[in-house]
Amino acid sequence: MKFKKEKGPKLTTREVCTKIWNDRTAYLMSAPYVILFTIFTVVPVVISMFFSFTYFNMLEAPQFIGLENYIRLFLKDDIFLIAIRNTVILAAITGPVGYLLCFFFAWGINEFSPKIRAIITLFFYAPSISGNAFLIFTLLFNSDSYGLVNAYLLKLGLISSPILFFQDTKYMMPLVIVVILWTSLGTSFLSFIAGFQGVDRSYYEAAAVDGVRNRWQELWFVTLPLMKESLMFSAIMSITGAFNVGPTVTGLVGFPSNGYAVHTIMHHLEDYGGQRFEMGYASAIATVLFIVMISVNVVIQKIIRKVGQ
């Protein structure tokens, strides 16, 4: 699996050009993606990093101000600390739990016959493809006394006045976590199912001969190592997803959330970029978020490599 880099002899420019020319088909084929990726992903990231060192209000030309944005971000901005705390809580809970949920559901579903599997897969996958389906929760937990949950609780006599579920700091975080988990069975879930499908049955037979005695051992020593790529892909999707919960949260609790109870880094970014027109500062936030996400991904990759060892 691991590629060892071979150090060849140093090439002259001319030789490089010849090599490129010889592999021109490969370069041509990858060109569309590389060009689009550069224009729409690499360049914006670089530009955003540049803006993070400027004062930029979107409507007037940016002014270079050095590290001022970062200094303010880390030393003066209390709300940013709240945002970091919330992001870590959300990511730490929804990322791994969502990941495990995906895995165990996929594992369970894998046991069914293909037809039933297809139906159940659709059933679990539906919430994440149907866009704003999570908004059903705003109906369920409506703060009107005729909102479904409130009406029911009032009827049972557990409460005497309706609870403002999505505006009460007591309930916001737990509810948001529940909803995010509900929608988390997305792409990574599908990739798990594909991963399980990709394992050849003969490995299990061989493993049985070699002394694997129960399903757990089968899972740990056979299935998981064979679907490491799926695991990696899903992990990255889950973690990235956990950092990008902004729109879901906004859809549930509005923007900004009451008392910044579920204010994440994404929201902080939106607050400065969209509401206060401080693009330079927002870019600094984005850069921090970017670095955090990259580092978390590196850590995750290291952990996943340990699977099956």
Partner 1 sequence: MNRFLRCLAILLAVCTLFSVMGTVGAVSDGSTSASSVSSTTDGNTAGNTNTEGTANSDDDSETAFTKFKYSDYLKEYSNIQKTKNEIVWGAAQNIVSKSDDVKVVTDADKDLPEDAKQYAGMTVSTTESSKIEWSVTVPEDALYTLNVLYYNVKGKDSDAERAIYVDGKAPFTEALATVFPRVWKDVASEEAKPLTDEELKLGYASFVRDVHDNDIRNESNEIHRWTYLDCRDNSGLYEDPFVFYLTAGTHTIRFESQREPIYINSLKLYTPETLISYADLLKEYESKGYKNGTAASVRVQAENLSSKSSATIYAEYDRGSSKMQPYSFDVIRLNQIASSKFTSPYQWVEWTFDVEEAGLYEIVTRFQQNTRDGAFCNRTLYINGEVPCEEAKHVRFNYDDTWQVAALATPAGETMKFYLNKGENTVRLQVTLGELSPIVDRVDTAIFNLNECYRKILMITGSVPDTYRDYQFQKIIPDVLELMETSGEELKKVITDIRALTGEKSGSFTSSFVTLTNDIDTMTKNPRQIAKRLSNFKANLGTISTWILDATSQPVGFDWIQVSPVDSELEKPENGFFKDMWHQVRMFIASFYMDYDDVGRRPSKAQGKTRDITVWVTTSLDQSQILRRLIDNSLSQTSDLKVDLKLVSAATVLPSIAAGMGPDVILGVGNSEPINYAIRGAVINLDDRNLNTKENFDDVMSRFAEAAIIPYKYQDPKTKVVSTYGVPETYSFSMLFYRKDILAELEMKVPKTWQDVYDCIVKLNMNSMLFGVTATMDTYAALLYQQGGAFYERNEQGLYESALDTPVAIKCFEQWTEFYSAYGSPITFDFPNRFRTGEMPMGIANYSTYNQLSVFAPEIKGLWGFEVLPGIEKVDENGKTYIDSTTMGGGTASVILSSTKNAKAAWDFLDWWTSADIQVAYGLEMESILGTAARYATANKEALARLPWSTEDYNKISEQWDKTSALPEVPGSYMLSRYVNFAFLAVANEGKDPGEELLDYVVMINDELERKQQEFINQ
Q: Which residues bind partner 1 (CB under 8 A)?
A: 57-60, 139-140, 142-149, 151-158, 161-162, 164, 167-171, 174-175, 178, 256, 258-259, 275-277
SS (H, E, C) 79-104: HHHHHHHHHHHHHHHHHHHHHHHHHH
Report the C-alpha gap between 47 and 57 in whole angstroms.
Answer: 15
Question: What DSSP designation does 135 have?
Answer: G
Of 179 and 289, the one with the shorter C-beta distance to partner 1 is 179
Report the C-alpha gap between 104 and 225 in whole angstroms.
Answer: 16
Distance in Å, CB of 272 to partner 1, minimum: 11
Question: Hey, what are 105's tokens?
Answer: 């559901």
Question: What DSSP designation does 214 have?
Answer: S
Of 40 and 152, the one with the shorter C-beta distance to partner 1 is 152
Four-point Cα dihedral 293, 298, 302, 308, nearest 10: 60
Of 144 and 200, the one with the shorter C-beta distance to partner 1 is 144
Distance in Å, CB of 250 to partner 1, minimum: 14
**Per-residue b/e over 86-103, b at no fewer than 16 CB within 10 Å?**
bbeebbebbbebbbebbb
Length, in residues, of the chain: 309
Half-sphere CA count of 126, side-chain side, radius 13 A? 7
**Sign of torsion over alpha carbons 15, 19, 22, 25:** negative
Of 234 and 271, the one with the shorter C-beta distance to partner 1 is 271
Of 63 and 130, the one with the shorter C-beta distance to partner 1 is 63
Of 75 and 158, the one with the shorter C-beta distance to partner 1 is 158
Three-state SS for 184?
A: coil
Of 136 and 232, the one with the shorter C-beta distance to partner 1 is 136
